[in-house]
C-alpha cells in the first residue's frame, strides 16, 4: 500500500519547504509546484490524494487550478488564502475546495488538516440506503443521483452530504453533526464549509432554499431532508 501523496502548490519556496518537511515527518509523500501551470501538470501526472493550493499564483491562479482539478477529480483540496481574502475563500469553497487555511498559518495545524482529509471516511456502505424520494433517486451502488430522470453531477462531498441527510428524512442535523459524519470526527475547520457545500448541492439538484423540495434549512440549528 503506497503512502499518501500530497501536492503542495505555492510560489514561495520557503512555504513549500516547511509544509513538505512537516508532511514528510508524518509519513506523507510530497510533490511541489511553484505556479498554476506546473500544478496542473503535476496533478495530471501523479494524481495526488490531497492538493494544498495557494490562491495567489503566477500565471494560472489557484481558483482556476481548482476548477480544472474539479473537472476531472474529487481529490481533496485545501486552499491557502490571506486573511483579507474572504471572497477567495468563499469562491474556493463554491468551486469545490474541501477546506482552507489562512496565511500566516501554523505548519502543525496545516499538517493536521491534511491528515484529517486523508482520514476522512466516505459514508460507510451500511449507512447508504439510497432510494427514491419523489423525483429524486439515489443509487448507492453506482454513486449516482438522478432528478426527474436526468443524472446530476455531484462531488464526493455533495453526494455524501445528500446521503447523510436522506438517511433520516425529517431529522435535523446540525452543522457539527454533518461535519462529523461527512468530513470526519477530527475535522477542525470552519463550520461554514457545510453551508457552502449545501448551497452547491441545492444548485445541482435544482432545489430552492426558500421553497425547498428536498433540503431544508432549520434556522439556528442546521439542515434536514424533507420527507416525501
| Average pLDDT rounded to a whole number, residues 1-26 | 93
Domain boundaries, the chain: 5-119, 125-225
| Average pLDDT rounded to a whole number, residues 46-68 | 93
- Measured over the CA atoms of residue 172, residue 221, residue 187 and residue 195, the dihedral's sign is positive
Q: Quick one: CA torsion of 28, 32, 36, 40, rounded to 10 degrees?
A: -60
Its CATH architecture, for the domain 5-119, is 3-Layer(aba) Sandwich (3.40)
Residue 81 near residue 88 (C-beta atoms within 8 A): yes
CATH of 125-225, one of 1.10.287.70, 1.20.1290.10, 3.30.460.10, 1.10.10.10: 1.10.10.10
pLDDT of residue 64: 93
| Average pLDDT rounded to a whole number, residues 157-171 | 89
The pTM score is 0.64
Amino acid at each position: 500500500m503506497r503512502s499518501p501523496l500530497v501536492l503542495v502548490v505555492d510560489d514561495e519556496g520557503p512555504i513549500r519547504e516547511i509544509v513538505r518537511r512537516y508532511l514528510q515527518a508524518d509519513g506523507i509523500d510530497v510533490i511541489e509546484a511553484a505556479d498554476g501551470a506546473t500544478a496542473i501538470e503535476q496533478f495530471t501526472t501523479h494524481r495526488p490524494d490531497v492538493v494544498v493550493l495557494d490562491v495567489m499564483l503566477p500565471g494560472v491562479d489557484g481558483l482556476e487550478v481548482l476548477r480544472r482539478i474539479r473537472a476531472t477529480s474529487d481529490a481533496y483540496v485545501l486552499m491557502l488564502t490571506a486573511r483579507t481574502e474572504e471572497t477567495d475563500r468563499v469562491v474556493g469553497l463554491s468551486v469545490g475546495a474541501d477546506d482552507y487555511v489562512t496565511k500566516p498559518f501554523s505548519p502543525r495545524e496545516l499538517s493536521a488538516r491534511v491528515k484529517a482529509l486523508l482520514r476522512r471516511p466516505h459514508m460507510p456502505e451500511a449507512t447508504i440506503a439510497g432510494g427514491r424520494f419523489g423525483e429524486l433517486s439515489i443509487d448507492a451502488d453506482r454513486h449516482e443521483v438522478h432528478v426527474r430522470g436526468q443524472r446530476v453531477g455531484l462531488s464526493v462531498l455533495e453526494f455524501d452530504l445528500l446521503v447523510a441527510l436522506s438517511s433520516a428524512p425529517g431529522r435535523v442535523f446540525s452543522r457539527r453533526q454533518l461535519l462529523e459524519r461527512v468530513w470526519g470526527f477530527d475535522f477542525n475547520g470552519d463550520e461554514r464549509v457545510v453551508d457552502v457545500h449545501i448551497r452547491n448541492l441545492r444548485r445541482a439538484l435544482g432545489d430552492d432554499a426558500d421553497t425547498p423540495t428536498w433540503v431544508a434549512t432549520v434556522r439556528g440549528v442546521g439542515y434536514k431532508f424533507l420527507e416525501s
